[in-house]
Structure 1
Amino acid sequence: MVLIPNVVVVLGIVVVALAGLMLSSTTLTALPASVAQLWLVLNLVPVTGGAVELGVLPILPAIGLIAMIARRVHGAVKDRVSIADLAVLAACTLLVPVVLTLAAAAMMWDAGRVFAVGPPPLGDAVLRTLVVHLVGLVLGMGARLWRALLRRYGLPGWLVDAAGNAWRFLTWLAGAALLVLLVLLIAGWGRQGDLLAPYDGVDAVAALVAVSLLYLPNALIATSGVLLGSEFNFGEASVSLFSIHLVPLPPLPLLGVIPGTASEWAVVLLAVPAVLAAVLAYRGRPTGAQALAGGVLAAVIVFVACYLTRGVIGYYGPSGPMLWLTPALAFVWVAGAGLAVAVVGRIAELRSAAPEAEPEEQEAGEVPDGTEAAETSGQDEGTDEETDDDFDAPGDAEDPEDTENPEEAAAEDTHEDSGADAEPEAESVPAEDAPDAGPEADPVEEPVEAAAEDITEDGNEETAEDSPGEGGEEPGEAGNPDPRG
């Protein structure tokens, strides 16, 4: 299942490399180096040519590769999967691309003796390849399988919901970033004309637009970081909501949307992540632990995105979103909004519980008065039977020989005379002797545990928590039998 995407990708790379060499009238000796370099570019591994390193690569082709991997993984686990199957699946998904990356690095090293290319940093190449394919594996497993795995290892299932909330927040933030880019494009349309003026041919303009579209997801990630309050660097140039410092940039239409200075009202855009996080927190009503977990997961996702879109751009130097500040701000927005909603909800619960507790305290206060009056009345009458009954052990019975009540004696005589009429009452089960329906007699607890254990070992199907209990009864319907038969 997981080898098919790699085979398809390699074959596609060979076709593209052959087409490029034929269109550029280049010797086929460069085919191995071209294939290796395209594989590295697809996995966002920095490439080197002519002593110039390009570490910020377009992430759009990598997104297509991740989607292909996720689809194949989901097809393998959607019906039924065991832990052993999942381990083999993960190993193949991660190890096969690493082997291909190592082979590509060796091919680049060998081609460096003939062409102006060089091998990538080996550690960074392996790590980026692992991250790209790990993202595809995680997304392909799906929420259902992740819930089953969390149950199996004793972790709370709401972690999946927290991850979903974090993903929705970042998706909405990317949508807001796209809207900001469109507004900047319209406002700075004159700069686009100045950038494209030196290029006379339509082919050159189309190539620049195509490169800009390939880097559009990179721009969305960088703009999202700026909306969070972080900073985007392009070498010595820096862009944030507070200030903009530019240097001569490459003539790409995508870079032409960056304004020369930051407006005074740009700080207002900090309300965008605040509103998005608040809306999601209000809809989800998370607890404190869920809010913190959502913030951590959002920070992890942002860190992976920043790592894959940051690197060295030739002589400009390190470029991309700030690697540590951007995830930290994502954690602050998501966790802060969730904690605020959790605190407000807790305060509202305490306030609503306070008025209900006052009448209960008053009623509880009236009981001692009545009890005291009853006890006083009992002392005046010279009897303390109610007080003695309050301290009797449960199930204690009064000795029949000590009973001098004539009504009870009459009841006994009537019972002896009635014969068969009294026999059903003798066989009836008193309420005190009825079967206990407490936690020890719950017929649902053990089947639920067993079902969860079977599902997590054999596959990723739903647990039996929502299924009826034994005998077709719904959980909780196995109540006490009628004491009167």
Structure 2
Amino acid sequence: MQLLTSSGRPPGDEPVSDAPEPLAEVRPAGRVRVLSSAAAGPLITGYALVTALIALVTLAAGRFSATGALLAAGPGWLAAYQVQLGLGGHPLGVLPLLPTAGAALLVVRTASGAVQRLGLGRPGQAVPLVAVITGAHALFGLVIAISSLDTPVRVNPVPACAVPGALAALAATAGVVRRCGLPRAVAERLDPLAARGVRAGALGLAALVLAGALVFTLATVLSMSTVDNLFEPSIGSSFGLLLLSVLYLPNAVVAAMSFVTGPGFTVGSLEVSLVGYRGGDVPALPLLGGIPEHSAGWWPALLVLPAAVGALVGWSVRRVDDDPAARIRVVAVAGAVVGFGCVVLGTLAGGRLGDGPFDPVSVPVGVASIVAFCWIVIPGGFVAFFAGAHAPPTPPNTVDVGPDEVFDGAADFEDEDGEESEEDAAEEAGDESEAPEEPGADVGEQDEFDAEAEAELGLQQPEDVVVEEPDPQVGTPGAVTGSTEASVDEKAPEDDR
């Protein structure tokens, strides 16, 4: 019986309560508004922060000028995006990493919020958003570079356009990937062991940065008297030095990380590493007060830190797979990720510093990446190999056919007592026999074959073999007897009756 309260919808068209509600469609005007806000928001906010920072420094120094702060904010914004500047004809490529991290985080949050407001659900839908943010940053950098051609601070228009655009593209992509389901799509196409290796590599890189931060902190604390003497007596100058030290703090941590792993860093003629030291002058910046004046014999003991990081990576992947070789591959992927991260961080942390005695400030990224890879792979592979499970090796010529049953392929070729089968013996002797014939073959040919076989074996077939005809009363076939004439005579009385 059909209920009268049916909604009249065709079968299969009923709403499902557990299905997610469709995202509200954004009108074209609202879409343009969201895209414009995502493109201009990071530019305006970043420029305002740089202007406020410059105004604060000039105010502390007693040279505040609103117009000067606004004009100087342009090159400062480019410096935050790692664009090399020219100060009076001298290059400035050692740029602070802390503003760069802040600018990237701002773009990430802006892109993520725009994805939510637009209701984007697939990676392809976010391409216009990333393109708009990238184009706005590239255009803004080009405008600043062109407007600074007649000023003491000059910028090359090509990197001023390309570098901010590339950094904004990476940050915007990072902001939209999670909300658009890109990690799941990538995970479905990526080897699980490789994905696990990437995560372990991120853990290893973060641990190495933490080790560098610990060493930098220790060196600063032990040299606190030197750091205190580098501050100027005036409040404005001291505030400016403190601000520069804070902005360049990530650069110092990266240099300390390179020192811990072994290659070290250079500042002009100064070279500091665990295996060598060459003295030289350094800028009078409190951040650099912890740089030692000579080498120490206990420095090689710091190699325990990168070895511990490698062991940590190996311990984190000890349960990835029961096969030790698979765990070694995961550790190798993690080492590659750490090596690549060292190249990126070392490149961003160094650069040109004028044309004087402090130029250049650099980290040997090539050597640092190889050394970091070895610090992850060697101790990490050792720990991953011995700390994880070991699957028992499969015997040769063995196929698993069930949980409690094993098929041994060699049993087909050897008997239980270790002797070879008749087929193998016949093949070795050169006596190849014909395959058994299918049912329905000629009986006469089979009898001739049996007779020849018995003749070869030395058996004589009796001439008086009697083939008994089937008994019509019983209906069973008679037996073929190989008896003598005596057995035939025993049957004779019954035949007479």
Instruction: Give the TM-score range, shorter chain.
Output: 0.5 to 0.7
Q: What does 1:418-433 correspond to in 2, within 5 Å?
A: none
Distance of aligned partners of 1:7 and 1:234 in 2 relative to their CA distance in 1, 3 Å threshold:
same
112, 117, 122: which one aligns with 1:74:
112
Partner of 1:215: 248
Q: Which moved more, 1:227-236 or 1:138-147?
A: 138-147
Could you say which residue in structure 1 is the equivalent of 2:96?
A: 58
Contact 1:44/1:62 (8 A) holds in 2: yes
Q: Does 1:177 align with 2:212?
A: yes
1:24 aligned onto 2:63:
yes
C-alpha separation between the residues in 1 aligned to 2:374 and 2:115? 35
Distance in 2 between residues matched to 1:182 and 1:225, nearest whole Å = 15
Residue aligned with 2:361, SS: strand
Question: For 1:35 and 1:202, how far apart are their aligned partners in 2?
Answer: 23
| Residues 346 and 254 of structure 1: CA distance in aligned 2, closer, same or farther (over 3 Å) | closer
Q: How far does residue 371 in structure 1 lie from its aligned partner after superposition?
A: 11
Residue 145 of structure 2 corresponds to residue 105 of structure 1: yes
Match of 2:47 in 1: 10
Contact 2:351 2:361 in 1 (8 A): yes
Aligned residue for 1:476? none
Residue aligning to 2:77: 39
What is the Cα deviation at residue 331 of structure 1? 2.5
- SS of the residue aligned with 1:268? helix
Q: Which amino acid is 1:9 matched to?
A: G
Contact 1:150 1:156 in 2 (8 A): no
Mapped to 1, the partners of 2:295 and 2:50 lie a distance apart of 42
Match of 2:266 in 1: 233
Partner Cα separation in structure 2 for residue 294 and residue 141 of structure 1? 25
User: What is the aligned counterpart of 2:352 among 306, 309, 312?
Assistant: 312
* Deviations 1:251-291 (CA, angstroms, capped at 9, x unpaired): 11111101112211211212211211221222223634433
Distance 1:20 1:294 in 2: 43
TM-score, normalization: structure 1?
Answer: 0.66
How far did residue 16 of structure 1 move? 5.2
| In the alignment, structure 1 residue 280 sits paired with structure 2 residue 316 | no
- Aligned ranges 1:335-346 → 2 under 5 Å: 335-341=377-383, 344=386
Q: 1:155 maps to what in 2?
A: 190
Distance 1:290 1:72, change over 3 A: farther
Q: Offset of 1:64 from its aligned partner?
A: 1.1
Trace 1:112-191 onto structure 2 (pairs within 5 A): 112=151, 116-118=152-154, 120-141=155-176, 145-151=181-187, 154-191=189-226
Tell me which amino acid in the other structure corresponds to 1:323: V
Aligned equivalents of 1:191, 1:171: Cα separation in 2: 29
Q: 1:117 is matched by which residue type in structure 2?
A: V
Corresponding residue number in structure 1 for 2:23: none
Higher helix share: 1
Confirm or deny that 1:259 pairs with 2:297. no
TM-aligned CA distance change 1:195 to 1:10, over 3 Å? closer
AA aligned opposite 1:83:
P
Equivalent position SS for 1:200 = coil
* Matching residue within 329, 332, 337 for 2:374: 332
d(CA) in 1 for partners of 2:110 and 2:196?
23
Q: 1:189 is aligned with what amino acid?
A: M
Q: Which letter does structure 2 place at the counterpart of 1:279? A: L
1:372-412 residue CA offsets vs partner (Å, 9 max, x unmatched): 9xx99xxxxxxxxxxxxxx9x9xx9xxxxxxxxxxxxxxxx
Q: Aligned partner of 2:268: which letter?
A: G
Identity, % of aligned positions: 21
Matched, 1:290 2:330: yes
Structure 1 pair 61–84 and aligned structure 2 pair: CA distance change class (3 A): same
Q: How far, CA to CA, are the matches of 1:172 and 1:346 in structure 2?
A: 22
Q: Distance in 2 between matches of 1:92 and 1:290?
A: 37
**Which SS does the other structure have where 1:233 is aligned?**
strand
Q: Give the drift of 1:122.
A: 4.0
1:249–1:20 distance in 2 versus 1, CA, 3 Å: closer
Return the letter of the residue paired with 1:311. G
Unaligned stretches of 5+ residues in structure 1: 377-390, 397-485
Counterpart Cα distance in 2 of 1:66 and 1:270: 32
Match of 1:432 in 2: none
Q: How does 1:321-400 map to 2 (within 5 A)?
A: 321-341=363-383, 344=386, 348-350=390-392
CA distance in 1 between partners of 2:133 and 2:412 (Å)? 71
Change (3 A) 1:173 1:234: same
Larger radius of gyration: 2
**Letter in structure 2 aligned against 1:5:** P
Deviations 1:220-260 (A, max 9, x none): 11111111222211112111112222322111111110111
> Alignment partner of 1:348: what SS?
coil
SS of structure 2 residue aligned to 1:238: strand
CA change 1:290–1:207 in 2 (3 A) is same
SS in 2 for 1:312: coil
Q: Distance in 1 between matches of 2:377 and 2:178?
A: 21
CA drift at 1:174: 1.7
The SS at the match of 2:286 is: coil
Q: 1:207 to 1:39 in 2, by over 3 A?
A: closer
Backbone CA RMSD of aligned residues: 4.3
Q: How does the TM-score come out when normalised to structure 2?
A: 0.64
Letter in 2 for 1:91: A
Give the whole-Å Cα distance in 2 for the aligned partners of 1:72 and 1:335: 38
1:312-355: CA deviation from partner (whole Å, max 9, x where unpaired): 112222212223222222233234445445655799334x6679
* SS at structure 2 position matched to 1:254: helix
Which structure has the higher relative contact order (CA within 8 Å, separation 6+)? Answer: 1
Task: Return the letter of the residue paired with 2:42.
Answer: P
Q: The residue matched to 1:175 in structure 2 has which SS?
A: helix
| CA apart distance, 1:105 | 0.9
Deviation of 1:360 after TM superposition, in Å, equals 6.1
Superposition pairs for residues 402-417 of structure 1, below 5 Å? Answer: none
1:361–1:297 Cα change, 3 Å? same
